Amino acid sequence: MATFLYKLGRFAFRRRHFVALIWVALLTLAGVGAASAPAAGPSSFSIPGTEAQKAFDLLEQRFPGMNANGATARVVFRAPDGEKVTSASHKKVVEKTVEELSQGSEVVSVADPFTAHAVSQDGTIAYAQVSYKVSGMELEDASKDALQQAVQNARDGGLTVEVGGDALTAVPETGATEVIGIVIAAVVLVITFGSLVSAGLPLITALIGVGIGVSTIGALASALELGSTTSILAMMIGLAVGIDYALFIVSRYRAELAEGREREEAAGRAVGTAGSAVVFAGLTVVIALVGLAVVNIPMLTKMGVAAAGTVAIAVLIALTLIPALLGYAGRMVKPTGEKNRLLGGGRTAKRPDRPNMGTRWASFVVRRPVAVLLLGVIGLGAAALPASQLALGLPDDGSQPASTTQRRAYDLLSEGFGPGFNGPLLVVVDAKASDHPKTAVTTVVDDIKAMKDVTTVTPATYNEAGDTAMVTVVPGSKPSSTATEDLVHGIRDAGSRITADTDAKVLVTGSTAMNIDVSQKLNDALVPYLVLVVGLAFLLLIVVFRSILVPLKAALGFLLSVTAALGAVVAVFQWGWLSGLLGVEETGPVMSMMPIFMVGVVFGLAMDYEVFLVTRMREAYVHGESPGQAIVTGFRHGARVVTAAAVIMIAVFSGFIGSSEAMIKMIGFGLAIAVLFDAFVVRMALVPAVLALLGRRAWWLPKWLDRALPNVDVEGEGLHTPPDDAPKDQDEDRQLARA
């Protein structure tokens, strides 16, 4: 592989106009596709195989006029203190508002609170349910404006009015902190390279890669039902890995220049060595992201595949566009140790023989491996302790910031009708196979009424055929509570007994039941996902490092860092530690998909640093250095760059903490803290400590396995037969162009 990538790097350097033109054309094509594509529709959220999804599908078949996918708005009215919403003046305002709400072209129905019995017992709170023909994401701005205008008119009439539901769903915003993250990345690159041009190359190529990836997602969003969250996550991960991969190539190029090589030769060797690490690091990220398909939640699969595509683009850009731009930059990119005149005068360091920080740190760890290992493991173990209290759930209006109308409507409904009113359960009784359908439904209703934590059970609503019924159950506890989850399981257990007696099937659905099923499905999929992703990456790393213990150590270190990161997420988003500093207005359960998504992404990124750092050690060991000296050599060449890459990735991920979307905020924080733990504790401390303790055993591989594995030559051993007479003719160009 190193030889092929070496030739590819020289080809891109020499044929820079051709390579640059291809990438510009791809960026233009993706941009035009995104601009001309139809607006993205709603992203379907289905959970195949769950009871909640089966019930939802059954409702669509047996109650075709329900319009279950349509947006809803709960307009909640509250009378001033000491007054009732049922008084003549306030009742008139509510009725006028209902009339205004029913006039929209996309409105299906509006339930008058006074005829629908939607008034609290004390008469202070009422709500009107508005149903629309289309989903919240498809709802026209005119319909949203009409809703907000009707609400404002009611407020002007003296009532407190808030709106819940998904009718006012907005596209999440990432905020200015995303830009701050990119600015921090730029500063780190300038400090690392001491050159504005060298620092600019990773930023430019990363932005091009993200532009192509996100534009492609935009072009396919409507056809593939990709939500706005998909493009944000692709941007987050694409920016981070795009900058990092380019950083490693440029850094190795400058190191090759410092050894006196010509620029084209240096570009080829940089791509052949660091590029090999980029390829395998990118593969681990792609495996982790595509592996999310094992969960069998379409939305999560789409997010993973889209992000994986952006990572693949980042790898291709690092291997081709970076050497091409290095060709354009010429002498403006300085060898390692030299600085741009604006940043230090274009001179070498004053004390070139002094060991750098990486060398000094690695030497310390090699001398004190046990102390470093114990300190790192104990520290990460302490950070991981909160993860033992992890509670999972999916967000509802109750997790919205207190400043939003959705959250205020949620609180008003809880006050007027009880906390469970915000998460009613929809029980579907399929009595088609029963000899006495109505008797079966009556049995279900009676059993549910007798259950603990049930506030209200509505009369059954039958379909036209009379063989299927819907029953709404209002729990006594809030949607995300353990009591409500127990109630769902209790209804399902009772349904199993009823099915045995009457042949009628009892299914529980609704947003609350759906959230419970998603959490359970994600929990069940976590272990198979870990086995699949870690197993595949373990085999890949055996090929890369030609060792058994090094990949095993890498996997164990990842488990430490990801568990510690989950502990930090629990402490901030569930317990509320530092919540004010991070803009977390409402604490609650951690989002159900957070652990498995975090495991996938963090594993891929952790293997990035493992590959970049340890391949340098492996390279030194293969070339004859002792195990301890190879560790020091790897840190001398790689520690500064890996540190810079980690700081950049942390800055990029932290930039998304300012998002208005709770899921994006949580993922941004989780990934940032995970990279902090993994790069600076696991890879920079635990890895050299373990390797120092293992010595030569770290690089042991059974002879039979060594013969069976393909030789991918990540260390660039094939390039050390000096290719000064390497082919530079046009036949090589044509060969690579065909490849």
- pLDDT tens track for 197-218: 888 888 899 899 989 988 888 8
Higher pLDDT, 269 or 583: 269
- pLDDT (0 to 100) of residue 714: 63
Would you state the structure tokens that stand for residue 542, as one six-digit string? 């055996």
What pTM was computed for the model?
A: 0.77
Q: What is the pLDDT of residue 109?
A: 84
DSSP one-letter code for 451: S
The rounded radius of gyration (Å) of the Cα atoms in the chain is 30
The stretch 56-69 carries a mean pLDDT of 75
Nearest to 592, CA basis, from 340, 395, 338: 395
Q: Which of 653, 655, 552, 637 is nearest to 598 (CA)?
A: 653
**Average pLDDT value for residue range 270-274:** 86
Q: How confident is the model at residue 732 (pLDDT cuts 50, 70, 90)?
A: very low
Q: Which amino acid is at 232?
A: I
> What is the layout of strands, in order, in the sheet containing 160-165?
107-111, 125-132, 72-78, 160-165
CA angle 36, 39, 42 (to 5 degrees): 150
| Token output for 51 | 């009871």
pLDDT 10s digits, 679-703: 899 989 999 999 999 988 888 888 8
Give me the chain's average pLDDT, please.
82
> 424 with 178: CB under 8 angstroms?
no
The 10s digit of each residue's pLDDT in 283-306 is 888 888 888 888 888 878 888 888
SS (H, E, C) 622-682: HCCCCHHHHHHHHHHHHHHHHHHHHHHHHHHHHHHHHCCCHHHHHHHHHHHHHHHHHHHHH
Average pLDDT over residues 508-533: 84
SS3 of residue 127 by DSSP? strand
Helix (H, G, I), strand (E, B), or coil: what is residue 154?
helix
Beta strands 125-132 and 72-78, pairing class: antiparallel
The phi-psi region of residue 462 (left if phi > 0; otherwise alpha if psi is between -120 and 50; otherwise beta) is beta
Q: Return d(Cα 283, Cα 278) in angstroms, integer.
A: 8
Max Cα distance, the chain (Å)? 96
Residue bearing the bigger pLDDT, 611 or 712: 611
Residue 69 has pLDDT above 80, yes or no: no
512: closest CA among 443, 592, 571? 592
Least confident of 235-244, 488-497, 673-682: 235-244
Residues 6+ apart with CB under 8 A from 455: 418, 420, 421, 474, 475, 476
Q: pLDDT band at 727, cuts 50/70/90? A: very low
Strands (E) across 8-154 are located at: 72-78, 107-111, 125-132
- DSSP character string of 333-353: SPPTT---GGGT-S---S-TT
324 pLDDT more than 90: yes
pLDDT in tens, 341-377: 555 554 444 445 567 788 899 999 999 999 999 999 9
Alpha helices per DSSP H over 390-458? 405-417, 437-449
**Alpha carbon separation from 507 to 46, 93, 513 (Å, rounded):** 16, 40, 10
| Band of residue 717 on the pLDDT scale cut at 50, 70, 90 | low
Give the Cα separation of 584 and 604 in Å (integer): 27
Residue 737 confidence class, pLDDT cut points 50, 70, 90: very low
Angle between helices 369-384 and 687-694 (to 10 degrees): 140
Which of the four pLDDT bands, split at 50, 70 and 90, describes residue 339? low
Q: Please, what sign has the CA dihedral across residues 513, 514, 520, 524?
A: positive
pLDDT tier at 44, thresholds 50, 70, 90: low
Range with lowest mean pLDDT among 36-50, 67-81, 448-462, 687-701: 36-50
Q: What is the pLDDT of residue 739?
A: 45
Between vectors from CA 588 to CA 285 and to CA 649, what angle results, nearest 5°? 30
Contacts of residue 255, Cβ cutoff 8 Å, sequence gap at least 6: 270, 335, 336, 637
Which of the four pLDDT bands, split at 50, 70 and 90, describes residue 713?
Answer: low
Instruction: Return the closest-CA partner of residue 545 out of 711, 320, 365.
Output: 711
Is pLDDT at 29 greater than 90 in this prediction?
yes
Question: 309 near 331, Cβ under 8 Å?
Answer: no
Helix 141-156 with 88-101: angle, nearest 10 deg: 170
DSSP helix/strand/coil, 112 = coil
- Scanning the structure block, which residue is given the tokens 């570009």? 267
% of the chain beyond a pLDDT of 90? 19
Give the pLDDT confidence score for residue 314 in this predicted structure: 92
